[in-house]
């Protein structure tokens, strides 16, 4: 009986506020705690210096390298700290591994005198390399990290390696050849990669694991899972299974109820007879073009996806012409990702405008004009974003890459100007919906469809606001 009463409790709209509040409070608390720790526990961006204090990489070099990474959309090819396309390497993991190898090479060249000595010394060198990578020599007072001679050697080798990767045509090099040609940009990029590897390897102050909790797994650099990682991985997996079980249990309970349990207090939005007699209003006819545009964007997205997949398998030449030379994966994948968001948004906006007169037949003045305005603003956004994503990684935007080119973040590819324009489009979307639905919105029916259309679009706007909280100079970890 108690179970049935609980089901009845869940089905009563007057009680829906309780699970909503519980979920909201739990989510907000979790996000706040994670956000606080993200800022307070973020690794420093120091000046790396040699054992005698000479500069190797400065903080400015590292931030410039971060800008190069974003300007040329390298997250759309590889990844950083596990976040990215994963077509290429994770640059943080690669830099850590290469640094460990170069450090070992330094010691082998310095002390090995025979094959027997080399075999014997290799074991000692391995432990020495791990010890040096794990040692946190950060001095907060001067914001410097003093590198060992082997680490300094590794930084030089790392720069040479990435010089070959982005300008060469050998195995493992970036396609197309000479994607980056500016030596200073490549050096800054190497500084950024070295810093990311340092973050993954060096021990967090007062802890026995790195800033990334010993991610990635790399035994030669001393990165192996800690007991806490293993325990919480198991707890997290079991928690997921338990949570899914609870959800499926109550879903099964709800399936046993007849339709009356869900529809007895609801009025049908549309009946079969209503469909047969339906005549779209002028405002509804104005939404047709949103769906035509979505179809076109979907087709272009599929084409961009095909080109991206061809790059994955190394098949980019057609009739002697290498498409990858004109459209590298950093561009095609950016189009593929971004166009999916844009055509889905166009469908959301168009569908909400189409439903609006069905919920509130009395339309406010200039509603159709506003709908047409938002459509053409979307067209401007799409054109600007598509062109910007192309010219940014090509280096055609100069110092304005962040504003009109490619921001360099996965799912947030278009320049800041286009991001702002998207935000304004969503603001106008809410205004149009609120104007149209205001006559039928009621505080006494907080769960009614008109209210929820406004709630959800406002929530999307709040979510998009998070994209304005960082710049090219923000710590990449944050």
* CB-based burial label for 251 (10 Å; 0-12, 13-18, 19+): exposed
Q: Which of the following CATH numbers is that of domain 283-468: 1.10.8.640, 1.20.210.10, 1.10.3720.10, 3.80.10.10?
A: 1.20.210.10
How confident is the model over 185-225, as pLDDT tens digits? Answer: 999 999 999 999 999 999 999 999 999 999 999 999 999 99
Asked if residues 146 and 155 have their Cβ atoms less than 8 Å apart, the reply is no
pLDDT score, position 260: 64
Per-chain mean pLDDT for the chain: 89
Q: Residue 386 CB: number of other CB atoms within 10 A?
A: 21
Buried b (16+ CB within 10 A) or exposed e, 316-355: beeeeeebbeebbbbbbbbbbbbbbbbbebbbbbbebbbb
pLDDT score, position 1: 44
Residue 300 has pLDDT above 70, yes or no: yes
Domain boundaries of the chain, sorted by first residue: 2-40, 47-225, 283-468
Nearest in space to 430 (alpha carbons), one of 419, 445, 441, 418 = 441
What is the percent of the chain where pLDDT is above 70?
A: 92
Residue 175 or residue 203, greater confidence: 203
73 vs 393: CA distance, rounded Å: 6
What tokens appear for 323 in the block? 């498409």
Asked if residues 325 and 177 have their Cβ atoms less than 8 Å apart, the reply is no
478 vs 62: CA distance, rounded Å: 15
How confident is the model over 406-457, as pLDDT tens digits? Answer: 999 988 999 999 999 999 999 999 999 999 999 988 877 777 888 889 999 9
Nearest in space to 393 (alpha carbons), one of 435, 342, 445, 332 = 332
How confident is the model over 459-478, as pLDDT tens digits? Answer: 999 989 988 988 899 999 98
79 vs 31: CA distance, rounded Å: 24
pLDDT score, position 45: 97
Q: Is the dihedral of CA 168, 93, 89, 302 positive or negative?
A: negative
Strands 83-84, 47-49: pairing is unpaired
How confident is the model over 17-72, as pLDDT tens digits? Answer: 888 899 989 999 999 999 999 999 999 999 999 999 999 999 999 999 999 999 99
353 vs 291: CA distance, rounded Å: 12
What is the percent of the chain where pLDDT is above 90?
A: 67
Residue 358 backbone dihedrals phi, psi, to 5 degrees = -75, -30
The arrangement of strands across the sheet holding 47-49 comes to 55-57, 47-49, 144-146, 138-139
Residue 147 has pLDDT above 80, yes or no: yes
85 vs 228: CA distance, rounded Å: 28
Strands 47-49, 144-146: pairing is parallel
How confident is the model over 351-394, as pLDDT tens digits? Answer: 999 999 988 888 899 999 999 999 999 999 999 999 999 999 99
196 vs 43: CA distance, rounded Å: 10
What tokens appear for 67 in the block? 């800008």
Quote the crossing angle between the two packed helices 115-134 and 149-167, to the nearest 10°: 90
Q: Residue 443 CB: number of other CB atoms within 10 A?
A: 6
What tokens appear for 263 in the block? 């529809």
Asked if residues 102 and 157 have their Cβ atoms less than 8 Å apart, the reply is yes
């Amino acid at each position: 009986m108690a179970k049935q009463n609980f089901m009845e409790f869940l089905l009563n709209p007057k009680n829906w506020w309780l699970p909503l509040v519980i979920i909201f409070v739990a989510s907000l608390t979790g996000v706040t705690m994670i956000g606080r720790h993200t800022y307070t526990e973020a690794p420093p961006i120091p000046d790396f210096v040699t054992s005698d204090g000479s500069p190797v990489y400065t903080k400015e070099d590292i931030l410039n390298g971060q800008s190069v990474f974003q300007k040329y959309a390298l997250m759309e090819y590889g990844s950083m700290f596990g976040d990215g396309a994963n077509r290429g390497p994770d640059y943080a993991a690669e830099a850590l591994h290469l640094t460990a190898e170069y450090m070992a090479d330094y010691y082998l060249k310095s002390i090995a005198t025979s094959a027997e000595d080399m075999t014997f010394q290799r074991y000692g060198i391995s432990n020495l390399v791990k010890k040096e990578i794990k040692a946190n020599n950060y001095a907060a007072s001067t914001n410097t990290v003093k590198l060992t001679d082997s680490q300094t050697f590794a930084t030089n080798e790392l720069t040479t390696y990435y010089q070959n990767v982005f300008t060469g045509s050998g195995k493992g090099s970036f396609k197309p050849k000479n994607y980056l040609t500016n030596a200073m940009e490549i050096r800054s990029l190497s500084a950024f990669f070295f810093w990311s590897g340092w973050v993954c390897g060096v021990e967090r102050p007062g802890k026995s694991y790195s800033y990334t909790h010993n991610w990635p797994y790399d035994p030669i650099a001393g990165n192996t899972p800690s007991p806490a990682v293993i325990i919480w991985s198991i707890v997290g997996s079991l928690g997921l299974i338990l949570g899914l079980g609870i959800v499926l249990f109550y879903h099964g309970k709800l399936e046993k109820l007849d339709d009356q349990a869900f529809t007895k207090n609801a009025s049908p939005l549309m009946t079969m007879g209503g469909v047969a007699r339906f005549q779209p209003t002028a405002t509804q006819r104005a939404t047709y073009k949103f769906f035509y545009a979505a179809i076109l964007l979907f087709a272009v997205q599929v084409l961009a996806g095909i080109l991206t997949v061809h790059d994955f398998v190394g098949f980019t030449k057609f009739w002697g012409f290498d498409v990858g030379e004109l459209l590298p994966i950093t561009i095609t994948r950016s189009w593929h990702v971004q166009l999916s968001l844009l055509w889905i948004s166009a469908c959301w906006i168009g569908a909400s405008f189409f439903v609006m007169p069905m919920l509130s037949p009395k339309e406010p003045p200039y509603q159709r004009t506003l709908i047409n305005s938002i459509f053409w603003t979307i067209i401007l956004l799409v054109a600007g974003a598509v062109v910007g994503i192309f010219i940014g990684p090509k280096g055609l935007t100069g110092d304005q890459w962040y504003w009109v080119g490619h921001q360099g973040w996965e799912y947030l590819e278009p320049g800041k100007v286009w991001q702002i324009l998207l935000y304004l489009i969503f603001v106008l979307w809410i205004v149009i919906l609120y104007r149209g639905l205001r006559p039928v919105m009621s505080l006494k029916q907080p769960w009614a469809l008109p209210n929820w259309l406004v709630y959800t679009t406002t929530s999307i706007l709040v979510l998009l606001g998070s994209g304005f909280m960082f710049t090219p100079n923000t710590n990449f970890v944050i």
